[in-house]
Amino acid sequence: MENLLGYSLERMTDCFVARGQSKFRAKQVFGWIYGKGVLDFDKMTDVSLSFREELKRDFCLSLPSIIAKQVASDGTVKLLLRLEDGAKVEEVMMPYDYGCPICVSSEVGCSMGCAFCASGLLKKERGLTSAEMVGQLLVMNQVLSEYGLRVTHINVMGTGEPFDNYDNVMEFIRIANCQAGLAIGARHITVSTCGLPEGIRRYGKEGLQTNLALSLHAPNDKIRNKIMPVSLKYPMKELIAAIKDYLSTSGRRVTFEYILLSGVNDTLECADELARLIRDNDLFAYVNLIPYNEVKEMKWKRSSKSSVSAFHNALLKKGINATVRKEFGGDIDAACGQLRVKYEKQQ
């Protein structure tokens, strides 16, 4: 049976109108689901009884179930969820002082093969449906409601490559952003890509005020090729061209994510080269330096605190807007894919 979660207001309206209903009907049902959190058609009392029966016959409103829940001492919440077909995905919420951002997965496994990432240990099985991404949001809201909190920001930064599952990710964003429902502000929504130029350009043309983060992780092709196979297909030159197009169509600045891996990409020369790349190409990018979350199965080591701060200072000195990402969930498996990898091994 089709899951009605995952329908944006626009799609729900088209669907209901095709069933002979007024446009207003969709707004009512959408409001029940996302505004009031009601997932039972019987409780949508201002919808006619006959249409409620029709909805019950043709649609379900089903959420992923929680397989495992870890809550770290700092309040980070990590969930391992089971989807309808048995596939498992992770999501995490980090308790910042400004709110509760979640990191949503966009695919089951990932085929981008970044050498340092635990998600790549589990090959891509399929993209998630918009319903499954909305499900992650609603389940996290249920967990957070126990603490009087709710999700305030969305980062499509969990397992998977969002631009490899473009349409479903965008449908999910439209649902989360819709004023008639959860109303999560566009500026509170970020999509993170490993660097697929076509997706970057398309995203820039959506006319949304959402954010783009790019997992750069290296200042040149030589280093990037070693750690991100996607770079062999789309070298820096193509990536920069796509970002420039994105800047001019969206008018939005980009964030570069940069994991610091000891002895790989963390020298001061790398910092200089990164600063030049940004300045010489007029990219106006923010740089988010990410302390690497070590993965047991992998050889990569995180950079020392002093290397991180030297790298950070070198960027600042060159006039680059850079921050070091705050770390959360040190006592749980908070890195992308870690919890699922551990769970699969135990089985």
Q: Are 215 and 192 in contact (CB under 8 A)?
A: yes
Which residue's CB is nearer to ligand SAH, number 161 or number 266?
Answer: 161
CA gap 332, 335 in Å, rounded: 9
The CA distances from residue 167 to 6, 109, 129, 157, 161, in Å, are: 12, 18, 9, 16, 12
Which of 295, 315, 320, 339 is the binder for ligand SAH (CB under 6 A)? 295
Q: Does 328 bind ligand SAH (CB under 6 A)?
A: no
Q: Least separation, in Å, of the C-beta of 23 and ligand SAH? A: 36
Which of 83, 157, 212, 278 is the binder for ligand SAH (CB under 6 A)? 157
Taken as a whole, the chain contains a residue count of 347
Which of 29, 100, 114, 140 is the binder for ligand SAH (CB under 6 A)? 114
* Cβ within 8 Å of residue 303, ≥6 positions away: 260, 261, 262, 266, 291, 292, 311
Piece of the chain touching ligand SAH by CB under 6 A; list 2-10, 83-91, 125-133, 187-195:
187-195
Q: Which residue, among 266, 288, 285, 267, has the nearest Cα to 277 in the 3D structure? A: 285
- Count of CB atoms situated within 10 Å of the CB of 81: 23
- Count of CB atoms situated within 10 Å of the CB of 180: 14
CA gap 128, 108 in Å, rounded: 7
Active-site option among 103, 110, 178, 336: 336
**Would you call 336 a catalytic residue per the annotation?**
yes
**Would you call 90 a catalytic residue per the annotation?**
yes
Q: Least separation, in Å, of the C-beta of 290 and ligand SAH? A: 5
Which residue's CB is nearer to ligand SAH, number 53 or number 198?
Answer: 198
Q: Does 274 bind ligand SAH (CB under 6 A)?
A: no
Q: Does 266 bind ligand SAH (CB under 6 A)?
A: no
Q: Does 117 bind ligand SAH (CB under 6 A)?
A: yes
Which residue carries 């130029």 as its tokens?
A: 197
Q: Does 91 bind ligand SAH (CB under 6 A)?
A: no
Q: Least separation, in Å, of the C-beta of 117 and ligand SAH? A: 4
Q: Are 113 and 121 in contact (CB under 8 A)?
A: no
Which of 161, 171, 266, 333 is the binder for ligand SAH (CB under 6 A)? 161
CA gap 227, 69 in Å, rounded: 31
Q: Which residue, among 213, 277, 280, has the nearest Cα to 246 in the 3D structure? A: 213
Helix (H, G, I), strand (E, B) or coil at 214: strand
Q: Does 257 bind ligand SAH (CB under 6 A)?
A: yes
Q: Does 168 bind ligand SAH (CB under 6 A)?
A: no
Piece of the chain touching ligand SAH by CB under 6 A; list 56-64, 75-83, 237-245, 289-297:
289-297
- The contact set with ligand SAH (CB under 6 A) reads 112, 114, 116-118, 157, 161, 192-194, 215, 257, 259, 290, 292-293, 295, 335-336
Residues forming the active site: 90, 336
